[in-house]
Amino acid sequence: MRALVNGYGFLGKRVARSILLGKLPGVRLVAVARSTGYLYRPEGLRAEELGNDLSGSPHFVEGSALVLLEDGKVDLLVELTPTNLPSGEPALTNIRTALSRGIDVVTANKAPIALAYRELKEVARSTGALLLFEGTVGGGIPLISLRRFCLRGDEVLTIRGILNGTTNYILSRMHFEGLTFDLALREAQNLGIAERDPTLDIEGYDTALKLLILANAVMGLDRKLDDVRITGISRISADAVALAKEAGMTIKLIGSVDADGRLSVAPRLVKLNDPICVHGTLNAVTIRLKTAGDLTLIGEGAGEPTVTSILNDIWEVVTVRGFGSA
């Protein structure tokens, strides 16, 4: 199976290295791309060709890796470019192009799945391609595959949880240390937990995208970003957090899908003994099932655990296509 890893940041480097180390038998890394160009070798790339900066290689080709998809040079697209709102590009076009040509897709890019899930699933169905996206929500928490493989015999009634580690870290520091929002944000940025431009996180859009994916892929709804009521945490004061603490509660940014299919992202009061009341960069999600009741999953929502989700999805492609054994 010939693989293209598109996006050469934190995730892309680690996934590419895992393939080159032979952790995914049956997968040959033939191309790695970034925004300005790509490396391509039909017989497979070598580890020494993949430094920190692809453009430093003498074999670096300037331009879009889309040509590799259009020319059928790969069998698997691992799409790991950064999330881009409101368009979802270039990932959306890359995924659409791959699926339309029967090329399997594994992605951790939230925007295309949140913005065009029904369309992409239909394209995949029509060509027989696989579209897997466990890494888009919850890092290493198997929320999507849990539904696909373990909960098919039950009905999901509601989903509620903390889906963004950056905001959870900020609110945790405000709760435990009495920091102001600005100080907690600055600390998160210094530690690399928050981006230089933290807007997507602190204004709730990252959580909203993840919530959309869960609503559509796990609950079978057909919701758009405009259907989500979004309120971020930038106006949460230290005094508000202190008052919540005195009452035995705390404030968390909660994404929820209620029983009527309404989606919201907003700061909420959460009891300290609530199963989803986790701190630091942890994520926690409670899925309410019609028969089994509440099921809560907790784990790291980003970083290395996301690599695990991506590799698991690639393993599924390998197994389904008969290139390796499970």
The structure tokens listed for 272 are 């300290």
Question: Which residue type occupies 106?
Answer: V
How would you classify the pairing of strands 156-162 and 249-257?
antiparallel
| Residue partners of 324: CB distance under 8 A and separation at least 6 | 24, 25, 26, 27, 315, 318
By C-alpha distance, which of 257, 229, 258, 253 is closest to 241?
253
CA R_g for the chain: 20
Residue 102: C-alpha distances to residues 67, 69, 72, 99, 114 (Å)? 15, 10, 9, 5, 21
The structure tokens listed for 160 are 């509620």
Q: Read off φ and ψ for residue 226, nearest 5 degrees.
A: -65, -15
| Residue partners of 270: CB distance under 8 A and separation at least 6 | 249, 250, 251, 252, 254, 276, 277
* Given the residues 73, 110, 121, 210, the one annotated as active site: 210
Beta strand segments in the chain, E: 2-6, 28-34, 37-40, 61-62, 76-79, 104-107, 131-132, 156-162, 228-230, 249-257, 263-271, 282-289, 293-300
**Distance of alpha carbon 9 from alpha carbon 288, whole angstroms:** 35
Active-site residue, 245 included? no
Find where tokens 């790291």 sit.
300
Cβ atoms within 10 Å of 201's Cβ, excluding its own: 25
By C-alpha distance, which of 216, 229, 215, 282 is closest to 252?
282
The structure tokens listed for 104 are 């399997």
**Distance of alpha carbon 243 from alpha carbon 209, whole angstroms:** 30
* CB 1 within 8 Å of CB 26: yes
Q: Which residues are catalytic?
A: 210
